Amino acid sequence: MVLALRADFDAQQLRSAARKSKDAAQARPKSVTAAIIAGQVSVGECGSGR
State how far the Cα of 41 lies from the Cα of 50, in Å rounded to an integer.
19
Residue 22's pLDDT is 92
State how far the Cα of 29 lies from the Cα of 48, in Å rounded to an integer.
9
Q: Give yes or no for residue 49 having a pLDDT over 80.
A: no
Residue 17's pLDDT is 92
pLDDT tens figures, 14-42: 999 999 999 999 999 898 888 888 887 77
Calculated CA dihedral for residues 14, 20, 21, 22, nearest 10 degrees:
160
Please say whether the beta carbons of 47 and 32 come within 8 A: no
Per the model's pLDDT, the better-predicted residue between 45 and 28 turns out to be 28
State how far the Cα of 50 lies from the Cα of 44, in Å rounded to an integer.
14
Domain boundaries of the chain, sorted by first residue: 11-40
Residue 21's pLDDT is 92
Residue type, 23: D
Residue 24's pLDDT is 93
